[in-house]
Structure 1
Amino acid sequence: MTFPLRAGLAAAFSLLAAPAFAHAVLGVKQASPNQTYRGVVQIGHGCDGKPTTGVTVTIPEGVIAAKPMPKPGWQLATTKGAYGRAYPSYHGTVSEGVKTISWTGGSLPDDQYDEFVFQARLTDAVAPGGIVYFPVRQDCDGTTADWSQVPAAGQAARDLSSPAPGVRIVAAAATAAPAAPASMSPATTSIKAGDLTIEQPWIRATPGGAKVAGGYLQVTNTGKEPDRLLSASIPLAPRGEVHQMAMDKGVAKMAPVESGLVIKPGETVVLKPGGYHLMFMDLTGPVKAGDTLDGTLTFARAGTVPVRFAVGAIGASAPEAGGGHQHH
C-alpha cells in the first residue's frame, strides 16, 4: 500500500481537527522537509473497552532512518525493507531502512493514556503544504483497530472511520525568522519562532574521535501556552536529544528528558553545562572551535526552527566572548 505525501491545505486542517475522533494520533503535528522528526504516537483509549496490547507504526515512503524508543514493559521489533528510491543521508545514500515499528507485550487499560515514541528523517520527497501519514495499528486483546485510512482529494479526515495520523509539512522559513547571514554573529541574533525567542545557541568543540557533543541556548516563551523542546539536529549528528544533568548523592548523572523540556508561559529556560542541555549523538566528525553549524530545534507547538550554532572551545562553560558572544 502506498500513502500519498501531498494533499491540500484544507485536508491538513481537517486532519488536525481529527484527534477527537481517533484512538491514535501524533503529538507533533507539523514538521519540515530534510529535518529529523520526533514521532509521538498518543494512545488515548483501547478498542471497545479492551486494553491496548500492541502498537505498530508504518513508516511511509519519503521518511528514512526511523529509530524507535524502547518502552519499559513492552517488546520492541522493527521490519526493514527497500525504499521506493535512494535518498541522500548523512552517511551517503540509503535505499532501505525500517518500514514498521512495533511495541507488543504490554497492557494499557482502556481508561489510561500512554505514548509510543520514534524518530525519523523527513526527506525532500515531502513538500510543504502536504501531509505525511503514519498508519497505526492498535492491537487490543484479541481485536484490532487499524488507523490507516488516508483522505482522498477533497475529502476531510473527519469523514473517515479510521483516519491515519498525519503530520502537516511546512517550509522551515514559515516557523521562524531566517538564520543569520554568515557576516552576522550568530550569538547576537534572537530567533523568533511563534511565541518563542531563542538566543545564543552554541556547541562545545570536540576532540577527534568523540561521538557526542553538548549544545546550549536559552528559550523564552512570551505566549500564553506552554511549549516543549523535543529534539535538535546538526549535519554532523544523526540525532540530537534533550538531556538533564543532576547531582544524585554527590554523583553527576545524565539522562534524556523523555517527553521534552517544557517552556512555560512567561518563562526563560537556559540550557547550560551542568544542567539541561542538548546532546548530539553519533557524531560523524569533529566539532571545531570557531566554526558555525546550521541546525534545527524541534518544538511541540512552534515546530521545526532553523538555528545557527556557534562552536566554543573544548570544555567551555559559556560562549566565547569574542565575536559578539557574552559570558554568563
Structure 2
Amino acid sequence: MKIAFHAPLKPVDHPVPSGDRLMALLLLSALEALGHQVSVISALRTYLKEPDAGRYADLVQQASAERAQIAKLWRDHRAPDLFFCYHPYYKSPDLLGPPLCREFGMAYVTAESSYSERRNIGAWADSQALVKKGLDLAAVNICFTGRDRQGLIDITPSTITAMLPPFLDQRLPISLVATPERGRLITAAMMRDGNKLESYLMLAAALEQLGDLDWRLDIVGDGPMRQTVEAAFAHFPANRVMFHGLKARDDLAAMMARASIFLWPGCREAYGLTYLEAQAAGIPVVAQNDGGVPEVVIADKTGLLTAPGDITAYATAIRSLLTDESRRTTLAKGAARFAREERSFEAATARLGNILETHVHKD
C-alpha cells in the first residue's frame, strides 16, 4: 500500500531523542519492511503542554492550511491508500488524518492512541473529542499495552483494537556477548522534570539503603534536569556513581553488556523501550510494577517488579540480585531470550503485517 505517516506528538526528525521518536521510527521501518511505500506526510506538531485555547486555535488554523496543501498534492497525484497516525492523545491530537481520510475515502489507522476523561479541561476537552472521533473512524487502533487498550474500550466499546507489544530496534547490536561485572549497575534515561526526575530521585533513595554492598552505577542520559539529578547522587562516595551523558546506540549496548543489572524505577512509565534494550543485552531489570512496565518486563522471569512508590521494596529487590548470582543469572538468560525472540523487530513486523491484513482492506 501507499501509506501516509504522521506523528503529531513529535515528528520523526525531531532533534530531541525520546521513546516517542524512536517508536515512530520503528513503526516506519516496520511498514517499509512489509513492502509498503511510506511517506511522512507532515512535520506539524500539535503538542499542547497546557489546555490553552489560544494555542489550540492557532494549531487548528495551521492544520487547516497544511491539509489544504496535502489535499492539493493528492488531487494532482494519487492519494495514499492508508493514513497511519502514531500517538494521538489529548495533548497532541491528529488534526490532519481524519478530515483527509473522509475527503479522499482512505483507511485510517492509529497506533498508541489514548483517552483520559479526567483531562477534559479547556482546549484539551476539544482535542480529546477529536481523538475520540479518530478512534471511531479508524479501521483499527493498534495498542502497545493492555492498559491503553482497555482505556479505549472503556470509552467506546465498539472501538476496533489490536495488540502490538513494544519491540526492539532492528539496528540494535544484540550479537554482543554479555560479560557482566559483579556489582556493576546501569541506568539510561533522559533527565526531564516529572516522571523521569521522580524515577531518578527514587533510584538514589533506594541505593542509599545499599551502602554496605559493593556496587557501581553508570548513568547514561542528559537533559534539562541534569544538575538536579547529579545533586541527588552527589553524596555517594567517589567512584560509586559515574555520569556519562548521552551515548550512541552501539556504545550504550556495549556498556549494558558489561553491566549485571539494569535499574530504572519507571514511575508511571508508558512502557519504556530501554527496558527491552537492556534485556536484549542480557541483563535483568529491577523496576516498579507501574504504568506499562509489566508489558516489557516479565516479573520473576526477566526481572523484578516492585510495588509503585515503595522505595524499601525497590532497594530490597536490587539487594537480592546483588547478593544472589544464581538468581541474577537465571533472570539474565530469561531476559535475553524474551527480548531477542518475542520482542524482536522481525516478530513485531510480522504481527503488524497481520494486523493490517486483517483490518485494512485495499480494493
More RCO (CA 8 Å, sep 6+): 1
Q: Normalising by the residue count of structure 2, what TM-score does the alignment of the two structures yield?
A: 0.25
Q: Which has the higher helix share?
A: 2
Q: Normalising by the residue count of structure 1, what TM-score does the alignment of the two structures yield?
A: 0.27
